[in-house]
Amino acid sequence: MDKEKRSYAPHVLAIPYPGQGHINPMFQFCKRLVSKGLKATIALTTFTSNSIHSPPLSNSSLQFDTISDGYDEGGFKQAGDVQAYLTRLEATGSRTLAELIKRHERSEHPIDCIVYDAFMPWAVEVAKQFGLAGATFFTQPCAVDYIYYRVHHGLLKLPVESSSLPVSIPGLPLLELEDMPSFIYKLGSYPAYLELLSNQFGNVDKADYVLVNTFYQLEAQVVDSMSKVSPLMTIGPTIPSLYLDKRIENDCDYGLNLFQFDPSTCFEWLSNKPKRSVVYISFGSIANLGDEQMEEIVWGLKRTNYYFLWVVRASKETKLPKKFVEETSHKGLLVGWSPQLEVLASEAIGCFFSHCGWNSTIEALSLGVPIVAMPQWTDQTMNAKFVQDVWKVGIRVKVNEKGIVEREEVEACIKEVMEGERGEEIKKNSIKWMDLAKEAVSEGGTSDKDIDEFISKLTNPLYASSS
C-alpha cells in the first residue's frame, strides 16, 4: 500500500537490546509515541519475553511481539560468551526480524519504521531491505556516544598515551584517563564490548534518525559538537510521565521487570523516615563487588549513622560481615531488589549511592536526588565525571592503590552530600536539573519538539525526503 495514501498513523517497531537498562528507555519512548497518536510494537527476544515478571503494561495501545537471539532457553547465559552471543544475535535476530516484518506486511498496519537499539546496528540493514525508515536509539548519554564515535573513526587513538592527557574533545570537559569509559582506560579488559560500542557507528549513516536518551540542556555543548558530524535528536529523559510532565495517562512505572520483588517492604520502611534522611544504595544487577569492598561500604555506612536502604542480591549477601543485618536493623533495610524509580521519588531519600549507570543517573537527575558516585565499568566512569564536575549534583568517590573505596571515604562522601555548605549547593543543582528535565519533555520543550519532528517526518514522507 502506498504510504502517502494511508489514512492511519505510522507504525513503529521497536527492537531493544535484551537488557532491562535498554528495554525500559525504549519502552518509555514508545509509550510517548503512542500518546501522540502513533502505533508502536515492541519486539523482545523470546527468552526476555518469557522472563518478564510483571505484566506487559496496562497501556493496551502498545503491542508486543518477539524475535529470537538464537538462545530462546537461556539468553546470554546460555551463550556463555559475549562474542558468541552477539554473533548469533545478529544472524538469528536479522532472520526473525525479517519474518516479523513480513507478517506485519500482510496486516492492516504494516511497519513504517524500525527503532533499533544502537547495540544492534544490523537491524537497519533489515529495515532497508524492506524499504523502511530506520532510527537508531542510543541508551547511553551523548558524551559517551561521542567518545565511541571518535574511537570508531580513528579520531581518538587507542591506547590513549599519557603524553596526550588530559584529552581535549570539542564539547567535553578535559578528560583524564580514568574519566573515560572503562573499555578505553582499561584497554583489553572486554574487547568484545569495546568493538560492540565502537561498531554502533559502523553504519549509522544508513539510519534516517539518530535518537539519544538525554535532553539538550543537560549536554548542550556535546550535543552541538556531535550534531555537526552525526545529526541527532534528544528524546529523553525516558522515564514514566508521572515524574516529568504528567501528560501520559496512567504512566506511573516502567511496567517491564526482569527481576521479581515485592515493593511494599521498601515503601512501608520508608514511610516513617524523616525527609531526606535515607541513603539509597544500589549498584545494579551486573556489578560484582568483592568481599573487601563490601566490608568497607558496610563500615562506612555504619559510621555515618544515617538510615540506609541497600539493594543486595541474595547471592551477594554472603559477602556482608556476620551480624551486620542484625546490628543495623534499627538503621537499615536490605532488599534483594527494589522499584528504583519509585524509591528515588520518596521524600525520605537524601542521596543515591550509585554505580552511575546512565539509567540510574538520569533518574536521579530527573528527580532531584544528589548522588555519591562509585563507578564500576563501561559508561559509569564518564557519567561520574559529569555528575561531579559538570552538573555538580554529587561527588565521585576516590579509590586507594588497590582500587578499593575505603570506609573513611564512603563516610566522608555521604556526609558531604547530605550535610553542610557543599551538600546544600549539590541539592540546589539537583533541583535545577530536575526542573530542566521536566521542561524538556513538557509541551514545547527540546525533547518534545524533537519527538514531534520525528513523528512529522514519519507521517509525511515528502517532508522526510526533503529534509
The mean-pLDDT minimum among 16-20, 74-78, 425-429, 463-467 falls in 463-467
The answer to whether residue 463 scores a pLDDT higher than 90 is no
Question: What per-residue confidence (pLDDT) applies to 428?
Answer: 98
Residue-averaged pLDDT of the chain: 92
The mean-pLDDT minimum among 2-16, 17-31, 94-108, 291-305 falls in 2-16
Q: Which amino acid is located at 459 in the chain?
A: T
Grid cell 502498545 is found at 62
Q: What is the mean pLDDT of residues 165-172?
A: 97
Asked about 22 being catalytic, the answer comes back as: yes
Question: What per-residue confidence (pLDDT) applies to 464?
Answer: 44
Contact 12/112 with Cβ under 8 angstroms?
Answer: yes
Is it true that 3-256+441-459 and 264-437 share their CATH fold? yes
The answer to whether residue 319 scores a pLDDT higher than 90 is no
How far is Cα 24 from Cα 43, in angstroms, rounded to an integer? 13
Tell how far CA 278 is from the center of its chain: 24
Task: Specify the pairing of strand 233-234 against strand 278-282.
Answer: unpaired
Question: What per-residue confidence (pLDDT) applies to 333?
Answer: 93
Domain 3-256+441-459 has CATH 3.40.50.300: no
β-bridge mates for residue 354, sequence order: 282, 373
Q: What is the mean pLDDT of residues 54-64?
A: 64
Question: What per-residue confidence (pLDDT) applies to 285?
Answer: 67
The answer to whether residue 59 scores a pLDDT higher than 80 is no
Question: Could you give the angle at the alpha carbon of 362 between the alpha carbons of 358 and 368, nearest 5°?
Answer: 145
Question: What per-residue confidence (pLDDT) applies to 122?
Answer: 98
The answer to whether residue 77 scores a pLDDT higher than 90 is no
Contact 321/377 with Cβ under 8 angstroms?
Answer: no
How far is Cα 296 from Cα 300, in angstroms, rounded to an integer? 6
Question: What per-residue confidence (pLDDT) applies to 41?
Answer: 96
Q: How do residues 352-387 score in pLDDT, each as one tens digit? A: 999 999 999 999 999 999 999 999 999 999 999 999
Phi/psi zone of residue 403: left (φ > 0), alpha (ψ -120 to 50 degrees), beta? left
Q: What is the mean pLDDT of residues 62-91?
A: 91
The answer to whether residue 324 scores a pLDDT higher than 90 is no
- The active-site residue out of 112, 117, 179, 379 is 117
Task: Specify the pairing of strand 133-138 against strand 278-282.
Answer: unpaired
Q: What is the mean pLDDT of residues 236-264?
A: 86
Asked about 117 being catalytic, the answer comes back as: yes
Q: How do residues 91-111 score in pLDDT, each as one tens digit? A: 999 999 999 999 999 889 999
In the 8-state DSSP scheme, what is residue 232?
Answer: -
The answer to whether residue 2 scores a pLDDT higher than 50 is no
**Exposure class string for 138-154: b at 16+ Cβ within 10 A, else e:** bbbbbbbbbbbbbbbee
**Which ranges constitute the DSSP H helices of 249-379?**
264-270, 291-304, 324-327, 340-344, 358-367
What percent of the chain stands above pLDDT 70?
93
Question: What per-residue confidence (pLDDT) applies to 465?
Answer: 41
- The domain segmentation of the chain, as residue ranges, is 3-256+441-459, 264-437
The answer to whether residue 348 scores a pLDDT higher than 90 is yes
Supply the CATH classification number for the domain 264-437: 3.40.50.2000
Q: How do residues 117-148 score in pLDDT, each as one tens digit? A: 999 999 999 999 999 999 999 999 999 999 99
- The active-site residue out of 11, 22, 104, 355 is 22
